[in-house]
Amino acid sequence: DIVSSLLDLSRQTTSYEEPVDLNQVIDDAIRIMYNKYKYRDAIIKRCLDKNIPNIRGNFSQLGQVCINIIQNAIQAVPENNGEVILETGAKNNHLYFRCQDNGGGIPKDKLPHIFQPFFTTKPVGEGTGLGLYVCHDIITKHQGQIHVYNNEKGGATFEITLPLSQSALVA
């Protein structure tokens, strides 16, 4: 299953567009991330709406986004009682994907810079500062939006919205 998920997400295409099942993208990303969290006391809760339609987009690129967002959430949660909640749904002619964690959140002064290239909140040597920048670029190319905010009870939530009604990728 892991090899199959890796093959699905690693197709090297840049502007190829196809029907994409967002829930399948997330499931493949979780399978690939399994070794990152299997020994941690962390729960990954899936609240995936099984009735959402496919969107037009690039499966591989959206997989890169999901892996990065989920990986960041797993790294942010506490060693004990960590929780990551993944949610999908459809609203206002858009699909959404939310990734919520119960980590420490993102310092308010850093929130405006989170999608800038080479910006990282991680210690030196642990991050390049390119992951969220690339995510933002991919989502923008899919005519979507990506937002991040801190939760009232701690942790952060990343929310991605993607359009349902039109061709996603711009040549």
For residues 164 and 157, the model is more confident at 157
119 CB burial (10 A radius; 0-12, 13-18, 19+): middle
**Mean pLDDT, the chain, integer:** 86
- pLDDT tens, position by position, 15-62: 678 899 999 999 999 999 888 788 888 899 999 999 999 999 999 999
Whole-prediction pTM value? 0.85
- pLDDT tens, position by position, 78-98: 988 899 999 999 998 999 999
